[in-house]
Amino acid sequence: MYVNVRRLSNAYKFRNSLGTGSFAVEPPKAVGMAMSRGQRLYQEDSVSAKVLNLPITPHTLDSQCAYFGIFDGHGGDYVSRYLRDSLPGVIERITTRDWNLIDYFRVYGNYFPQEELDAESATRDSHSHLSLHDRLKLAFLKADKRTITDAQNRGYLCGSTASVLLLHSLDDPPSPYAFSRRLQLTTAHCGDTCVVLVKAHAGKAHRLTLDDHADNVGEMERLKSFHGALVQDSYGESLFLGQLANTRSIGDAKYKSWGVTPEPHTQSVEVDGDAYSMAILLSDGVTGVVGVQEAADVASSKFGQSLQFGRAAQAAAQAVVDFAIDVGADDNCSAVVVPLPGFANAGKGRDRTRDLRDYRLQVANDPSNVRQKRQ
């Protein structure tokens, strides 16, 4: 059975036939976190790992929930740092009273599709408890309200993407998430940071989130009523209003009336724990130059090589960031590696991108290419 924890913590507590115990959900063992400033003057990315204590629902037997987040700031680091430090606590403290946040954001017009507002009104009227998806959506809205009403106006031109992964044990009695036979994985996401799930034996990467870019079909449809222009820059990247790569973010108060929303995409999946070796959270500084399968292969290979030394997760996260920098990333780069119950099989499957990565490193280290980049 589980051992109840009091509010936000770094310790995941458990009880088994041998007694009670706990382990710290922090680097370098239980999770790997690596960051690089790249060629930028400032580091605007942030990452976070915590243990939440949430109300037990009909789908969960354990109030404990492992939380992992990655945040890619722009226009400064105020919002990304706020999310790193405060979003876990906001998620814990959300109550049904926070439904009034929907009314607060109605002022921006077609901020949410009408069918979503109708569904949420029905949920408010018919349920006295919050689903996990409702909780996450309201937490993102509450964090957004806090940043855009900052007394120093720091959230006017500053914003951040956010990708959050929650892990619940579905075992009866509950087990620590890293050893559970059945797991519930829940994501909440806005922007272009991402969450990737990696198969244990095959090593195949499955992306759980999609980028909220201006040329995304769903986002284009949502933003039609705001009449904002979609402009391509000299690199062929589509920018909303000629300035924004992301159409969903937290902060960015200046662009709220144009439809830039913090409303997250949320989803939950139930999986066999042993079927997956790890989850990886990546900032767009990494995914802008490295494919998710490349990142998964780099992390799996390094994890398998380092497992016997006890810091495999940290080594895997660092290897992903290092590879992104080696092949030309100049943006802030961040990676979070979360071992899942099938971690013992990481790196034992086929390395699908080994030849491609070797070629890319060879090209990146070619002296003529280095000279051209400097010029």
User: What letter represents residue 188's amino acid?
Assistant: A
How many domains in the chain?
Answer: 1
Q: Which residues contact 346 (CB under 8 A, 6 or more apart)?
A: 198, 200, 203, 277, 278, 299, 300, 303, 304, 307, 312, 316, 339
pLDDT of residue 118: 54
334-356 per-position pLDDT tens digit: 999 999 999 999 998 889 999 99
319-333 per-position pLDDT tens digit: 999 999 999 999 999
CATH of the domain at 167: 3.60.40.10
Q: 131: closest CA among 208, 66, 189, 60?
A: 60
Rg (CA), the chain: 21
pLDDT of residue 213: 83
Tell me, yes or no, whether 227 lies in a domain. Answer: no
Q: 70: closest CA among 287, 227, 296, 218?
A: 287
User: What letter represents residue 8's amino acid?
Assistant: L
* DSSP assignment of 45-93: EEEEEEEEE----TT-S-SEEEEEEEEEEESSSHHHHHHHHHHHHHHHH
- Residues 37-41: what's their mean pLDDT? 93
Tell me, yes or no, whether 301 lies in a domain. Answer: yes
Query: 77 or 123, which is more confident?
Result: 77
* 375 pLDDT more than 50: no
pLDDT of residue 291: 96
Average pLDDT, the chain: 86
Q: Which domain holds residue 43?
A: 23-212+248-374
Tell me, yes or no, whether 218 lies in a domain. Answer: no
* 3 pLDDT more than 50: no
Residue 325's DSSP bridge partners are none
pLDDT of residue 2: 39
* 318 pLDDT more than 70: yes
Tell me, yes or no, whether 226 lies in a domain. Answer: no
Query: 117 or 31, which is more confident?
Result: 31
Cis peptide before 173 (omega within 30 of 0): yes
- With a pLDDT cut of 70, the percent of the chain lying above it is 83
Tokens of 279: 């989850």
Tell me, yes or no, whether 293 lies in a domain. Answer: yes
Burial class of residue 58, CB neighbours in 10 A (0-12, 13-18, 19+): exposed
Does the pTM of the predicted model rise above 0.85? Answer: yes
pLDDT of residue 242: 63
Cβ-based neighbour number of residue 75 at 10 Å: 18
pLDDT of residue 278: 97
- Residues 208-225: what's their mean pLDDT? 81
**Phi-psi domain of 114 (left: phi exceeds 0; alpha: psi -120 through 50; beta: other):** alpha
Query: 16 or 260, which is more confident?
Result: 260
What are the phi and psi torsion angles at 53 (to 5°)?
A: -120, 105
* 372 pLDDT more than 80: no
pLDDT of residue 13: 84
Tell me, yes or no, whether 346 lies in a domain. Answer: yes
Residue 333's DSSP bridge partners are 36
Please state at what angle helix 312-326 crosses helix 354-364, rounded to 10 degrees: 50
* 19 pLDDT more than 80: no
- Give the residue carrying structure tokens 């382990």: 23
pLDDT of residue 231: 58
Tell me, yes or no, whether 101 lies in a domain. Answer: yes
91-115 per-position pLDDT tens digit: 999 999 999 888 888 776 545 554 4
* 303 pLDDT more than 80: yes
Tell me, yes or no, whether 7 lies in a domain. Answer: no
Tokens of 233: 């820059």
Position 21 confidence tier, pLDDT thresholds 50, 70, 90: confident
159-215 per-position pLDDT tens digit: 999 999 999 999 988 888 999 999 999 999 999 999 999 999 899 999 999 999 877
